[in-house]
Structure 1
Amino acid sequence: MAHFKKRNDIKVVIADDDATTRAALRFLLQDHFYSVVGEASDGERAVELCASLKPDIVFLDIDMPKLNGNQAAQKLRELLPAIGIVVVSALSTLDNVQQARQSGASAFVVKPFNAAKLIAAVDNCIKNNPPPAARG
């Protein structure tokens, strides 16, 4: 099993149209030593950031302007097949979860979230899509 020297080896991008949610995500992730390398307030910018920064994991809110989280996830899955995608939503309906999975999400986190849920989602992404430094 792959081991990392530090969690801050894991690069994360956060995309949510709500600045308070982005700040909460950033705080919780940084508090657990993950490296937040970029933030976006819409899906289109999230895709652009991920294309240039090549993070290991991206958090995508479902309900964002320009591209919603599912649309952004589909584009990111094409651009960066190994990226871990965590979809975040206040609505945990079966339909939302299924759409997120079909769009390429690795994990689904319901708002309001807590640190345990976020870290479990990150761990799930790492387990299923280890960052390049941890591969072979």
Structure 2
Amino acid sequence: MRKRTKGLNIIIADDDATTCHVLRMLLREHGHQVLGEARDGEKAIELCEMHKPDLAFIDIAMPRMDGHQATQTIRQKLPNVGVIMISALPTLENVQNALQAGASGFVVKPFNAIKVVDAIENCLKQKRMHKQG
């Protein structure tokens, strides 16, 4: 039986209010706290700098600054913040670009609770391995 990770501080960035709402409810059901929500990449960076969350869920397609650019900036400025990219288009190119930008995981919309929780656990494992290495 796997140990479930609880109590992480998380930022959500997606330009779709319904997506943010669904993800926020899912995260709260699993014991996590959503510190803030952004509708574009620039606001996501601002919230991450302000709150220094454990993790950020960042949508790829957003106005003003896309998720790839936001992820690169967050990873450069705040290397301890894990990033999980989210998208309705799970193309190989999107996944590869997300990983190249510094994302630790990728979750497809509409959300599946098990996949979201697994992505969080995998992201945390990567962070622990990075600290040890």
Could you tell me the TM-score, scaled by structure 2's length?
Answer: 0.91
Instruction: Look up the SS of the partner of 1:7 in the other structure.
Output: coil
Q: How far apart are residue 83 of structure 1 and its match?
A: 1.2
Report the secondary structure of 2:114's partner residue. helix
For the residues of structure 2 that align with 1:113 and 1:7, how far apart are their CA atoms?
19
Q: For residue 55 of structure 1, give the secondary structure of its aligned residue in structure 2.
A: coil
Q: Among 30, 46, 49, which residue is 2:47 paired with?
A: 49
> Alpha-carbon deviation of 1:23?
0.2
Aligned to 1:20: 18
Aligned residue type for 2:6? R
Query: What value does the CA root-mean-square deviation take over the aligned residues?
Result: 1.6
Q: Which residue in 1 is equivalent to 2:84?
A: 86
Give the length in aligned residue pairs.
Answer: 127
- 4+ residue runs over 3 A deviation: none
Per-residue CA distance 1:62-113 (angstroms, 9 max, x = gap): 0001110000000001011121100000111110000000000000011111
CA distance in 2, matches of 1:27, 1:70: 25
Question: Gapped runs of 5+ residues in structure 1?
Answer: none
Provide the residue aligned with 2:123 in structure 1: 125
TM-score under structure 1 length normalisation:
0.89
User: Percent of pairs identical after alignment?
Assistant: 52
Gaps of 5+ in 2: none
